[in-house]
């Protein structure tokens, strides 16, 4: 699976761990930065990840920042992006199954690195249920 990933400085260590783990699982992971723990602006990475998913160049995106709010707000400005903040497996599953989320946003300051991988694995493994949820999703874009 082709996955776009990005983070700000608060999510840098998580991004690096996720990138390594997902690559070992056979996923094609494109890192859109940041490339260090130096202070950075989340929008500089959320926009390119979102654009790559929006254009269908990548199947899914992963964004990490301290609270996940900044990256989620930024990503959701893009038409066709449904970015969901997930801090546990159940939210990741529901985001995919009910909302057809295509970007998972992780709050590095509130979950462990191990939790992040479990959440991402659940997100990637869950299919959209369609049906009544498809009707609702179709009403999201303005």
Q: Which backbone phi and psi does 76 adopt, to 5 degrees?
A: -75, -5
Query: Could you tell me which residues are beta bridge partners of residue 31?
Result: 5
Query: Could you tell me which residues are beta bridge partners of residue 30?
Result: 4
Catalytic residues: 98
Among 71, 56, 55, 67, smallest CA distance to 6 is for 71
Query: β-strand 60-65 against 103-107: which pairing, if any?
Result: parallel
């Amino acid at each position: 699976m082709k996955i776009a990933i990005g983070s700000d400085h608060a999510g840098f260590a998580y991004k690096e761990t996720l990138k390594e783990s997902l690559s070992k699982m056979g996923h094609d992971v494109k890192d859109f930065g940041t490339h260090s723990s130096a202070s950075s602006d989340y929008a500089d990475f959320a926009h390119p990840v979102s654009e790559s998913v929006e254009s269908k160049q990548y199947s899914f995106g992963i964004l990490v920042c301290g609270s996940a709010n900044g990256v989620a707000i930024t990503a959701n400005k893009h038409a066709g992006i449904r970015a969901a903040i997930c801090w546990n497996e159940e939210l990741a599953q529901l985001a995919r199954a009910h909302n057809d989320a295509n970007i998972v946003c992780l709050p590095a300051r509130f979950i462990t690195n191990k939790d992040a991988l479990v959440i991402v694995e659940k997100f990637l493994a869950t299919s959209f249920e369609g049906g009544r949820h498809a009707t609702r999703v179709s009403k999201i874009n303005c």
